[in-house]
Amino acid sequence: MVLPLLAANPLRLTLNVLDFGILIIYFALVITIGVLARRAIATSEDFLLAGRSLPAWITGLAFISANLGAIEILGMAANGAQYGWSTVHFYWIGAVPAMVFLGLVMMPFYYGSRVRSVPEYLRRRFNAPTHIFNALTFAVATVLIAGVNLYALAIILEALLGWPLWTSIIIAAGFVLAYITLGGLSGAIYNEVLQFFVILAGLIPIVIVGLAHVGGWAGLQAAVSHTPLGPAAFSSWQGTGIPWTNPLGDWIGIVFGLGFVLSFGYWTTNFAEVQRALSAKDLSAGQRTPLIGAYPKIFIPFLTIIPGLIALVVVPHLGSAEGLPYNDAIPLLMNKFLPNGVLGVAMAGLIAAFMAGMAANVSAFNTVFTYDLWQTYVRRGRSDRYYLRVGRIVTVAGVLIGILTAFIAAGYSNIMNYIQLLFSFFNAPLFATFLIAMFWKRVSPMAGILGLAAGTIAAGVFHYVAFNIPYFYPGGHFDPTHATINAQMQNFYGAIAAFVADAVVTVIVTLLGRPKPLSELAGLVWGVPDPNAPDPSKVPKPTWWASPALLGWGALAITFLLSLIFL
Amino acid sequence: MSQNETQPSAPQSAAAKLFDLRVLIGGLFTFYGMVLIIAGLFASPAEIQKASGININLWMGIGMLFVGLLFLLWWRLRPLPPPVDPARDDDAASSQSHHAS
């Protein structure tokens, strides 16, 4: 009987020579990219910021690919199965506006001020305490999350291929270490671009075969309406009024919490993303980086949410107590539908996505550590060759810390969730501080650190207070065990609380203190131009169809239209 | 950081020497495309049945081959400009040495 075999391990894949051949070739190419990229490294800026020389199409795809880690892919498919089309909020309202804002509004500040990292912007705009607070929390967060990526990869490989955890951890970390220590950020970015295409090549067959299996789009809609999600599964905004019935809560949380605070906070201040834009070859390319990245972001939900819904239909009891967890959606579909061949490509894409997530975090870590912490506070004024060497050493250290974190997470799996929760508290208020800093000349240096601290504390406090607010429970029915709370709403409203706390404290402290002299704010604030900036009339204008304004507004228009279609 | 201005012997960026990624992407996808097409041509009826009646290896192979050839074509038609000597290109040098005040 097939059933008992399936029950033994329904996720276990049978890869054959063809699949392994595909995998081996892929990873040989990954290392080759690292080796070849090494030739283009002579300065620390080459190593840590790709020499600021990359074309927009590469940085744009790397920008989106750094975010398209496997946790994101598997997680979004799981969300698709659990929440239905409302998951699209994480893409449309929860990413595109922020990406457009970064490209059109903030990149001129980041790129024009020649800061080499996001924390460095804070150092120049505010003061050293603000800088250290952000640089340290970001550095620690990002290297620990690299470890989380590594652990998640090991778990998947154990389930899919039967490899022991420690084998996957060491081998995967070894690959990442090789290509980013050799190739630096260029190696990381090039591999992210390659990985983007391989991921598409891995997901597309799942969607094609899956949709054929359930009878096309109409068949999927009909089948899903018989699942616990019901007919509302394909509507993203239904039930978002007050009182709410939508799985993501009410529109206030979705629009202001997710769409504004969390989304802008991540896309405009997370250095793992902004770093890709800073590595572009000029301001226009830097601006177009997030704008180019917005287009795939708009359409990727069709490759992640649809598999989630298909899995909900074809896998019995998915996500319920007697079935497999939602996170298994994509691996289960790979097993069910893909023959050897495309299966190998899908595995390559999946493994590469995990590794690229780890690489993006380590490459952001090494830049912030080398420039913001080591060079600024520990060993100043050394030769550039010294900092290049430091960058390489820090890269190795970052990977080792990641390995250590992965092993710890293997022992205490809840650690992963705590790490991510803790760092979400630090992320939440960032955008408030940045927004005020960029547009209000008066903001005083102390307002930076105090605002960030207040926002972080508010996020943490709100998270625990929220458990006692009945509004966040379905139907308003308070649950003493806290188990049924709408975690998404808790998250979104917590972000709003952090933003408000940060903004209020920033304003109060500013009004009580003294601003920085305008001479120190050149290029950092709206209305204080950088006298050293290149003359705009000399900068070559991009062709009309590549102008940032067109790209940005075009992305917003498409998102708006799609949102109407899936209302 | 004022390394590039106070130390004229500071190393120049080598970033312009970075290879063109398009040839690698094009090459990989062309290769994968051909491999998958061959796998698709030899697909057993059981495999096709598993994939809802679609010979997915064949179709993905054709698609990937197409994408691979597109990249190679792009690489051929619009090659990267040859690396410019940083010492001769004043604008590049001054924009690279420009630093935070």
A190 touches chain B (CB under 8 A): yes
The mean pLDDT of A504-513, rounded to a whole number, is 93
The mean pLDDT of A105-121, rounded to a whole number, is 87
| Separation between Cα atoms, residue A348 and residue A199, nearest integer Å | 8
Which residue in B6, B19, B21, B74 has the most chain A C-beta atoms within 10 A of its own C-beta, making it the best mutation to test that interface? Answer: B21
Which residues of chain A does B29 touch, with a Cβ-Cβ cutoff of 8 Å? Answer: 197, 201
The mean pLDDT of B1-11, rounded to a whole number, is 50
| Rounded percentage of chain A residues whose pLDDT exceeds 90 | 52
Answer yes or no: do B100 and A114 touch at CB < 8 A: yes
| Rounded percentage of chain B residues whose pLDDT exceeds 70 | 70
Higher pLDDT, B14 or A332: A332
Break chain B into its structural domains and give their ranges: 20-78
CB distance A152 to A356 below 8 Å: no
pLDDT score for A475: 85
pLDDT score for A160: 87
The interface predicted TM-score (ipTM) is: 0.86
What are the structural domains, with CATH classification, of chain A? Answer: 12-417+545-565 (1.20.1730.10), 428-516 (no CATH)
Least confident among A216-230, A345-359, A410-424, A497-511: A410-424
Residue among B11, B36, B53 whose CB faces A342 most closely: B36
A384 touches chain B (CB under 8 A): yes
**Residues A450-487: tens digit of each pLDDT:** 999 999 999 999 999 999 998 999 888 888 888 888 88
- Letter string b/e over residues A450-466, b meaning 16 or more CB atoms within 10 A of that residue's CB: bbbbbbbbbbbebbeeb
Residue among B1, B19, B54 whose CB faces A212 most closely: B54
Which residues of chain B does A341 touch, with a Cβ-Cβ cutoff of 8 Å? Answer: 35-36, 39-40, 57, 60-61
SS3 A428: coil
In which region does residue A530 sit, left (phi positive, over 0), alpha (psi from -120 to 50) or beta (all else)?
beta
Chain-wide mean pLDDT for chain A?
A: 89
Within 10 angstroms of residue A517's Cβ, the number of other Cβ atoms is: 7
Answer yes or no: do B53 and A212 touch at CB < 8 A: yes
**Residues A384-424: tens digit of each pLDDT:** 899 999 999 999 999 999 999 888 888 876 777 777 788 88
pLDDT at A83 over 70: yes
B1 touches chain A (CB under 8 A): yes
| Separation between Cα atoms, residue A189 and residue A194, nearest integer Å | 9
SS3 A317: coil
SS3 A54: strand
Which residues of chain B does A39 touch, with a Cβ-Cβ cutoff of 8 Å? Answer: 14, 17-19
**Residues A425-454: tens digit of each pLDDT:** 888 899 999 999 989 989 999 999 999 999
Residue A54 forms beta bridges with which residues?
A280
Which residues of chain A does B14 touch, with a Cβ-Cβ cutoff of 8 Å? Answer: 39-43, 46, 51
Which residues of chain A does B1 touch, with a Cβ-Cβ cutoff of 8 Å? Answer: 375
| Separation between Cα atoms, residue A89 and residue A259, nearest integer Å | 8
* Cα torsion A513, A517, A520, A523: sign: positive
B67 touches chain A (CB under 8 A): yes
The mean pLDDT of A325-334, rounded to a whole number, is 90
Q: A510: pLDDT confidence band, cut at 50, 70 and 90? A: very high
**Residues A141-187: tens digit of each pLDDT:** 888 888 888 888 888 888 888 889 899 899 989 989 998 999 989 99
**Residues A231-265: tens digit of each pLDDT:** 888 888 888 888 888 888 899 999 999 999 989 98
**Helix boundaries (H) for A215-371:** 216-224, 251-252, 263-269, 271-278, 283-299, 301-314, 329-337, 342-367
CB distance A395 to A389 below 8 Å: no
Cα angle A354, A355, A358 (rounded to 5 degrees) comes to 90
pLDDT at A70 over 90: no
- For residue B73, the distance in angstroms to the closest alpha carbon of chain A comes to 16
Q: A190: pLDDT confidence band, cut at 50, 70 and 90? A: very high
Nearest CA in chain B to A123: B100
| Separation between Cα atoms, residue A160 and residue A562, nearest integer Å | 35
Nearest CA in chain B to A28: B28
| Separation between Cα atoms, residue A398 and residue B52, nearest integer Å | 45
Name, in order, each residue with C-beta under 8 angstroms of A545's C-beta and a sequence gap of 6 or more: none
Q: Got the DSSP string for A220-231?
A: HHHHHTTSTT-G
- For residue A50, the distance in angstroms to the closest alpha carbon of chain B comes to 7
* Cα torsion A231, A237, A238, A239: sign: positive
pLDDT score for B2: 45
Answer yes or no: do B21 and A190 touch at CB < 8 A: yes
- Interface A-B: count of C-beta contacts within 8 A: 146
Nearest CA in chain A to B54: A209
Name, in order, each residue with C-beta under 8 angstroms of B46's C-beta and a sequence gap of 6 or more: none
Nearest CA in chain A to B45: A339
From A407, A390, A358, select the one nearest A179 (Cα to Cα). Answer: A358
B6 touches chain A (CB under 8 A): no
Nearest CA in chain A to B18: A40
Answer yes or no: do B14 and A42 touch at CB < 8 A: yes
**Residues A521-561: tens digit of each pLDDT:** 888 888 887 777 666 566 666 777 778 889 999 999 999 99
- For residue A70, the distance in angstroms to the closest alpha carbon of chain B comes to 20
Q: A8: pLDDT confidence band, cut at 50, 70 and 90? A: low
- For residue B80, the distance in angstroms to the closest alpha carbon of chain A comes to 10
- For residue B87, the distance in angstroms to the closest alpha carbon of chain A comes to 15
The mean pLDDT of A317-328, rounded to a whole number, is 86
CB distance A100 to A357 below 8 Å: no
CB distance A148 to A409 below 8 Å: yes
CB distance A172 to A30 below 8 Å: no
| Separation between Cα atoms, residue A449 and residue A458, nearest integer Å | 14
From A29, A95, A441, select the one nearest A290 (Cα to Cα). Answer: A95
Which DSSP letter does residue B39 get? H
Q: A229: pLDDT confidence band, cut at 50, 70 and 90? A: confident
Answer yes or no: do B60 and A25 touch at CB < 8 A: no
Which residue in A14, A29, A53 has the most chain B C-beta atoms within 10 A of its own C-beta, making it the best mutation to test that interface? Answer: A53
Q: B69: pLDDT confidence band, cut at 50, 70 and 90? A: very high
pLDDT score for B16: 77
Which residues of chain B does A52 touch, with a Cβ-Cβ cutoff of 8 Å? Answer: 15, 96
